[in-house]
A and B are shown apart, each in its own frame.
Chain A
Amino acid sequence: MYISKECRDTIKIKIILKNGSLLFCSSIFFHVIAVLFGAPFLESSAETFHFGMTMSATVVVPALCVMGTNTVQWIRIFAQNSPELGVESIVYFSTICSIVGSWLGAFPIPLDWDRPWQEWPITCVVGTLFGYCTGVIIGAAHLYINYNRIKRIKIT
């Protein structure tokens, strides 16, 4: 199908705008969630928003890159837990792991070790990034194992 150059440009701009606004909304969403989970409401809201942006960068951006704004795809992958082996499965694992990582990141905060890094949201941000990395590694391992299995099945 042929699409004229200007048309392609408008589509691109549209997509960029759409995804950008989605990203912004998701940052706000994660900010709100952080506050609801117990982050301070007014103080250090810049830091909280920073956390929200990190979350959306590890949770939403990969998914947006792979699936775009197609809701059906999102439903299939996240609500029905059936990502296709490949990029989708890696995104699936990395997303879940970064959420779990940020959740676990909250645990050192109340401890009385008096370390400067115990300040909100440092541990959570670090947890998110660690979770993301772990997710990617798990995804890769999962891909490797299953790919080999499928290949074997196909060969035999």
Chain B
Amino acid sequence: MGQNFKCFFLLCFLILLYVCGLLIFAKGFLLKRVVVERNSTCKVDFAMQSDMHGEKGCWMHVRYKKAIIIVIDALRYDFASFDPTANDSIPYKNRLTFIKNSLMKPNNAKLYKFIADPPTTTLQRLKGLTTGSLPTFVDAGSNFASSEITEDNFIDQLIGHNKRIKFLGDDTWIGLFPNRFNKQFPFPSFNVKDLHTVDDGVLKHLFKEQSKNDWEVLVAHFLGVDHCGHRYGPNHPAMRDKLSQMNDMIRNVTRSMKDDTILFVMGDHGMTKTGDHGGDSKDELEAALFVYSPAQITSQHNLWKERDTISQIDFVPTISLLLGIPIPFSNLGQVIEELFTHCPWWQTSSDIKKVYHSTKALRLNAKQISYYLTSYYEYSSDFPIQKYYELQNLLDHAEKDLQALVTAMVKDGATRDITEDLKILRGHYIEYISQVGKICKGIWAKFDMMSISIGILTLLLAISTNIYYIRISDSSEVPNTVVILILYCVVYLTYAMFQTFFVGETLSAFMVYILAIVGIVMIWILTYNFSAPEAVAETCLSLNINNIFSWMIMLLYFVLFFSNSFVVHEDSVTLFFTQTLTWIFCFKSIQSFLVKYDTAQLDQKAKRHKTQHKTYDIMRTLTQPSILAIFVTLLLNVLVRFSSNFRACREEQWTCSLSLFLYPLASLPEELTSYRNVRYFFSVGCVIFFLLSIRKYVKHSGNFQGNSAGIICIKYIYPICGVAIVLHWALQGLPQPILDALPVWQQIFLPRLVYILLFISFIATTIKPLTIHLLPKQEKFSVQADGTVIPQVYNKLKQNFKDEKEAEHPPIVFGLGTTYSSALINFVVIFYLLLVLLLGDGPSPSLLFAFLSVWLFLEVYTASGTFTKMVFSGDESSGFGLTKACKVNNIWPPVVFMSTLFATLFYSTGHQATVPSIKWESAFTGFHGDFDYNIIPAILITLNTFAAEVFYSILCPLLVIWPLTDGLFLKSMAAKKEEPGHWKGDFLLLEDEDVFKQMLFRLFSSMFLFQGIKVFGSMCAAALHRRHLMVWKIFAPRFVFAAVSSFAVFTFTLLTYLIIINIHHALTRWVKQLEHKKKK
């Protein structure tokens, strides 16, 4: 008990070290922008109202009294633009005919390419679209809990100038702007499957509200197009319907518009070919902006080349000045100057007026940005000072030019070529604005080097501690020096956390560095000087082929994070590594078979053989252990390679095309619809195969008797779950309209049933984890004649292990030799079913392949292990060879193999280390609509994304348990040698309790070490490449994914540890009970 607790505590402490290191690093690396909480006011010295026309505004006159802003989520530019060459069968092309028709009147309508800044998630985009500032990477994570905007934005400015705002649509707005709108009709945004609720809701109120006279600004946010993209991708008939609906809506809105109203129709981001967004590919960034008014907006001229591509933040100053309110304080956008080339109050319009008017808008814009920069400077010294003065100079220069120009105009009239001068001036302002924008984009990826270096040092400390753990696992007692080490680390952690989160960049950071380095050196000295009580034959640092290769692969894995192309192709690279390791193990096991092969003797024999008879028995050759090992390895390779069919593509892999298995079943592309049934039944077959083989295994190992909780689960509950999952998939394969027509409870019933059943079986198997069955003494052992006679008799013999001299009638126990493994397998099935449900029918078969590959690997590993040999050849006198085997066994190579295998599986379950490839829709398995708490969708999405890691953590203790139970493979080879009575299976673990714990501790420490080194690699790469072009696209997401995946492994490993301890205690209790009974 004490030992268990100690090990658990040590592991928890290690996790704490890792997590703190990651947090500190993330704080420095994923930096937020400093928010300047100041608002623009009307009282500024630069805004002089010199126009003597129009209604008086704040910085400029009020050009339009009213504005309608329609946000169509994910309206890509090519959805809105007209392409005469496009084929009519493409569902998303040329559907917005109203835009095309109104562009015939170029003075009343404009269409722009509306470039979003990454990250292209709705929340970030809305922040950018209202404040005019640039979002940072960190905000992307908070998409679920939208938080109120505190920065100055045009909504607040409108309210400040007594304009009434009406809002309809996506409730993200309400989260950003609580209590700002005079009237609001919010609709839940998170349910991606629901294409119509939001849109129909908005449409129901939109026209009624528009016709009322109680608003100045009307905001409507439609989600249908985005949801349609998430659900089906752009290439689906549903998209045609949705876009046509939007087209009708725009037409109806414009029909009742008056001359004092302007309409903006915009997309907040685009979508990829698969309909996702979040990243920064061209398709995601290019949204559309359509501006329309019944009155003339702009005028024709040929003074300068008009822009057709604008940035999304440009919208903010434009709408502010058009409505006569100040530009929000922290805006960095540039006004769309074309919209300021016409005023309805002009009697005549000349080029000078046009240029002057638009230059005026640009000047106000530049002045506002200069104000912002000055006050930003007070908050933070990020901005390069030299550049700041350079830019300030440019602006001052332009101001002077303007003054001179105005003076000249007043003095001499329009004698000089004022138009040209104004155009030059205009160029200065534009340059100023764009320069500032560029520099700001650069500095908001400014890193806090202190936190980054402290984070790296903390992680190094954690890795050193981890290696020390593996070292001390050689001895059965935890040495006392650990206490000192933990105390030291606690002191260090407190100091480091305090330094990074409260103190900030000061000189005292050096103290942290020194503490960390001293700690690392200390731990290495401890590790080096540690000597186990007994000599250890092989540790994770000794030289042999397995070890060298495992370390080499580990090292390569570490190094590959530093190369962007290797990170992009990590899926293929991990596959390559996994296959290499399988062959290393194969080679090792062949070597161990043939090491005693007497070549000299057999040489002669063969010669004699040749002369005598030349018959050649193919079966004998094929059943040779080494040939078998090669076949098993090949099969393992085929499984791993085949599961690479389930991979998703990241956008940098330009040769990759999306696999058949990753489309939603309901919306396969046309050329693949014929595979629909094949795919579905393949997935179904995989589930059935898994459940049947588990049943078969449990039956074979004799754990299928009696009616304990685990057995009932395997007999009844899991098949029911399997059926429910399969039916759920079939339901998901229905066309969308039919599915939507079903009542909600029918849609969520099946997954919920699975959740509940799995939860029940989890609880039941936790309470009663043992699947052994004790036959009452008086009961005669009768064989059921149902075809399983042989295993039953065999098991009876097998379990007959108690010393026969001691008790005359030994109790007959079923399945004692596989107590641990079958109890653990129960949990494996629970998690398998859960993950399969969440993964959906497409990628779920790869989980089965992973399971089978683990099984095959365990067979090869068992056969090659010095482990099994030690247990069995352990001399009879000393009892069990387990202690010795444990000392000899080196768990590091198999752990490396398993870790790389599951790193491959991460990709084979249809994931990539990028934000757009996260499967958000998995949050809706069993839930419909919105969530009160974000915790449930967060858990479901994490389980879906890191399914591989979770499954790995549950399976890994088999590395310790399996070799004792003998694989089929080994049995077939060694059948002659072993008499059945000798076999005790993993029951040995109960007898050598200390060793068992020691082995588990070593196993988990090794797993943590792998994860730690992996996350350390991605971290160092991210820190090193922080100025790399691709940092936000490749290195930063890789780091985040590595961090979260290691966290998933940590958590679920601890859970597995608890499960194993629970099984162990249950078994101990059971044995005690048995002895008690016997005494009676």
Contacts and interface: CB of A to CB of B under 8 A. Distances in A.
Contacts of B638: 36
Interface in B580-595: 580, 590-591, 594-595
Contact of A36 (B591, B597, B599, B641): B641
17 contacts: A36-B579, A36-B637, A36-B640, A36-B641, A37-B580, A38-B572, A38-B575, A38-B576, A38-B579, A75-B599, A79-B595, A80-B597, A103-B580, A110-B569, A110-B572, A110-B573, A111-B566
Interface-central residue, A38, A75, A106, by most chain B CB under 10 Å: A38
B604 to A, nearest CB: 10
A80 B594 contact: yes
Interface string B581-619: 000000000110011010100110010000000000000
B599 A80 contact: yes
Contacts of A111: 563, 565-566
Interface in B548-583: 563-566, 568-569, 572-573, 575-576, 579-580
Contacts of B597: 75, 79-80
A37 B594 contact: no
Nearest to B644: A38
A99 to B, nearest CB: 10
Contacts of B640: 36
Interface in B474-529: none
Contacts of A33: 637
A79 B594 contact: yes
A106 B572 CA distance: 11
A54 B594 CA distance: 28
B595 A112 contact: no
A37 B566 CA distance: 16
B603 A110 contact: no
A72 B606 contact: yes
Given A36-B579, A38-B644, A72-B602, 10 more contacts: A37-B576, A38-B576, A38-B579, A70-B606, A79-B591, A80-B594, A103-B580, A110-B566, A111-B563, A112-B568
Contacts of A76: 599
A87 interface: no
Given A38-B644, A75-B597, A80-B597, A106 B602 contact: no
The listed residue with most B CB atoms (<10 A of its CB), out of A37, A80, A111, is A37
A37 B578 CA distance: 9
Nearest to A108: B565
Interface in B617-656: 626, 634, 637-638, 640-641, 644
Contact of A38 (B563, B599, B641): B641
B641 A75 contact: no
Interface in A11-54: 32-33, 35-38
Contacts of B595: 79-80
Contacts of B606: 70, 72
B565 A79 contact: no
Interface in A38-94: 38, 70, 72-73, 75-76, 79-80
A32 B564 CA distance: 29
A103 B576 CA distance: 9
Nearest 7 CB-CB pairings of A with B: A110-B569, A36-B637, A79-B594, A76-B599, A112-B565, A37-B579, A111-B565
A76 B634 CA distance: 23
Contacts of B568: 110, 112
Interface string B445-488: 00000000000000000000000000000000000000000000
Contacts, number: 55
Interface string A95-111: 00000000100100011
A72 B573 contact: no
A106 B575 CA distance: 12
A72 B608 CA distance: 14
Contacts of A75: 594, 597, 599
A67 B606 CA distance: 15
Contacts of A112: 564-565, 568
Nearest to B594: A79
A106 B580 CA distance: 12
Contacts of B575: 37-38
A103 B599 CA distance: 30
A114 to B, nearest CB: 10
A18 to B, nearest CB: 12
A62 B4 CA distance: 56
Given A35-B641, A37-B575, A37-B576, A72 B599 contact: yes
Nearest to B567: A110
Contacts of A106: 576
Nearest to B571: A38
Nearest to A35: B641
Contacts of B576: 37-38, 106
Nearest to A106: B576
A18 B564 CA distance: 48
B452 to A, nearest CB: 26
A106 B591 CA distance: 26
In the complex, which of the residues A33, A35, A76 has the most CB atoms of chain B within 10 Å of its own CB atom? A76
A27 to B, nearest CB: 16
B644 A110 contact: no
A72 B563 CA distance: 45
A112 B573 CA distance: 14
Nearest to B606: A72
Nearest to A41: B641
B565 to A, nearest CB: 4
Contacts of A38: 572, 575-576, 579, 641, 644
Interface in A98-146: 103, 106, 110-112
B1045 to A, nearest CB: 21
A123 B328 CA distance: 57
B106 to A, nearest CB: 42
A80 B599 CA distance: 10
Nearest to A76: B599
B43 to A, nearest CB: 54
B985 to A, nearest CB: 30
Question: Which of B569, B576, B603, B637 has the most C-beta atoms of chain A within 10 angstroms of its own C-beta?
Answer: B576
Contacts of A35: 641
A76 B559 CA distance: 37
Q: Which of A32, A35, A79 has the most CB of B within 10 A?
A: A79
A35 B579 CA distance: 11
A36 B563 CA distance: 24
Contact of B590 (A37, A73, A79, A110): A79
Contacts of B594: 75, 79-80
B115 to A, nearest CB: 25
Nearest to B566: A110
A73 B594 CA distance: 12
Contacts of A36: 579, 634, 637-638, 640-641
A59 to B, nearest CB: 13
Contacts of B566: 110-111
A6 B206 CA distance: 100
Contacts of B626: 79
A48 B511 CA distance: 58
A144 B848 CA distance: 53
A110 B603 CA distance: 47
A100 B447 CA distance: 41
A79 B625 CA distance: 13
A73 B606 CA distance: 11
Contacts of A103: 580
A72 B569 CA distance: 42
Contacts of A37: 575-576, 579-580, 641
Nearest to B605: A72
A79 B591 CA distance: 5
A106 B573 CA distance: 10
B603 A72 contact: yes
A110 B572 CA distance: 9
A66 to B, nearest CB: 15
A73 to B, nearest CB: 8
A103 B575 CA distance: 13
A73 B626 CA distance: 15
A29 to B, nearest CB: 9
